[in-house]
Amino acid sequence: MHRPSTPLNSSFGVVFVILAFLATPILSYGDELNIYSARQESLIKPLLDRFTALTGTKVNLVTGNGDALLTRLKSEGLNSPADVLLTTDAGRLYRAQQAGVLQAVSSQDLNEAIPAHLRSSEDQWYGLSVRARVIVYAQERVDPAELSTYEALSDPSWKGRVCIRSSNNIYNQSLVASMIASQGLEKTEVWLHDFVANFARSPAGGDRDQIKAVAAGLCDVALVNSYYLGGMINSEDTGEQEAASKVSLFWPNQKGRGTHINISGAGITQSAKNLVSAKRLLAFLATDESQQWYGEKNNEFPVRATVEVSQTLESWGPFIADQLSVSELGRYNADAIMAMDRAGWK
């Protein structure tokens, strides 16, 4: 099975306990849950509908930009109707924790199901899927033997050959934060200065745009989240399929700390009126059924080691993932933003 080579500790016992928890008679929990979600409705609602079918709990979904939802939660305070915050990137979850809008959740089931480095050490949020930030390269212009690490992309040989999105993007901020956490600010600043000098163009667009730029010959390599490539490979848009067919994926840092990973995840709000069902929902999203759906629908990796991955993920082969606690991505976020700004990363 091809998956991140990490100690993602899932066992039959844990799965059984979670399923038993979900199967507990629902007469005491005939209620509603209000969810603020930074995930697109199509990427979460089918799971929520399944949760309702299993538990009888009605789910009301509000979707929006991750930062905007956090601002809304802070503004609403304890009067917020939200019970659960679902969002992408550990940096955002850390911000929510620091803003005091989440509460600690004591759940042995979740702690056993989800590896410690993929959740808050204070039990305020839990990773529910894993995403990797990878190098995509032009098949016709780049020999994969030229590739090795994120750090190596600062070498002068890559001048004018790198595409990447803006420094305002949380995924890039988290990548830089991981580098600060692992090698210190001074070394990261040196890398940033040289890396920015290798940009083929001023950062613009999203990760799909970077892949399309490589395919079009505007640059030779790009840093993207792997699920964007998966989405293009499986897209109904023939233009996206064609662009994806011209690039390949490379797992960076396989001889060192491993490829940088991040998460999508969830936490229970301080304002939650329905704590029991909120905990049930998080447990449900950690089950094999939910994890497999995430992988098939959004090309993300499961946090549970027992879950089969999709054919697309399987085709990319196994990789070693960075074991850094994703909490560090939030802890060093401000340092990363300032360092990127000093390096001229627009």
pLDDT at position 20 over 60: no
Say which residue, 322 or 23, is predicted with more confidence. Answer: 322
Cβ contact 89:327 at 8 Å: no
Is the torsion defined by CA of 121, 122, 128, 130 positive or negative? negative
Cut 0.85: pTM above it:
yes
pLDDT at 277 over 60: yes
Q: Which two tokens stand for residue 176?
A: 């830089």
CB 321 within 8 A of CB 257: no
Residue 187, H or E segment: helix 185-196
Neighbours of 51 (CB within 10 A): 23
Q: What is the dihedral of CA 287, 288, 289, 291, to 10 degrees?
A: 90
Q: What is the pLDDT of residue 295?
A: 83
For residue 306, what pLDDT is reported?
A: 79
- pLDDT average, residue stretch 259-273: 96
Average pLDDT over residues 179-206: 98
Q: Is residue 262 classed exposed, middle or buried when 0-12, 13-18 and 19+ CB atoms within 10 A define those classes?
A: buried
Which tens digits make up the pLDDT trace of 22-39?
544 433 345 899 999 998
Fold held by 12-130+261-319:
D-Maltodextrin-Binding Protein; domain 2 (3.40.190)
Could you name the CATH architecture of 132-259+331-342? 3-Layer(aba) Sandwich (3.40)
Tokens of 203: 């950062």
Q: What is the pLDDT of residue 42?
A: 85
Q: Using an 8 Å Cβ cutoff, are 339 and 172 in contact? A: no
- What's the mean pLDDT in 85-111? 93
Residue 11 has pLDDT above 90, yes or no: no
Percentage helix, strand, coil, to 5, in the chain?
A: 50, 15, 35
Task: Pick the range with the lowest mean pLDDT from 4-8, 59-63, 202-206, 320-324.
Answer: 4-8
Name the token pair of 302. 């499961």
pLDDT at 238: 97
Using DSSP's 3-state secondary structure scheme, residue 127 falls into strand
Mean pLDDT of the chain: 91
In this prediction, residue 307 carries a pLDDT of 86
Apex 301 CA angle, 297 and 302, nearest 5: 95
Domain with CATH 3.40.190.10 in the chain: 12-130+261-319, 132-259+331-342
Task: Specify the pLDDT at position 3.
Answer: 55
Give the pLDDT confidence score for residue 6 in this predicted structure: 46
pLDDT band, very low/low/confident/very high, at 297 (cuts 50, 70, 90): confident
Whether the per-residue pLDDT at 21 is higher than 60: the answer is no
Mean pLDDT of 5-23: 44
- What per-residue confidence (pLDDT) applies to 5? 54
Residue for token digits 């839990």? 126
Q: What would the pLDDT profile of 110-152 be if each residue is shown by its tens digit?
A: 988 899 999 999 999 999 999 999 999 999 999 999 999 999 9
Q: What is the structure's pLDDT at 109?
A: 86
**What are the tens digits of pLDDT across the range 205-256?**
999 999 999 999 999 999 999 999 999 999 999 999 999 999 999 999 999 9
Share of the chain above pLDDT 90, in %: 82
pLDDT of 171 over the 50 cut = yes
Tell me: pLDDT of 1 over 50.
no
Q: Is the pLDDT of residue 272 over 70?
A: yes
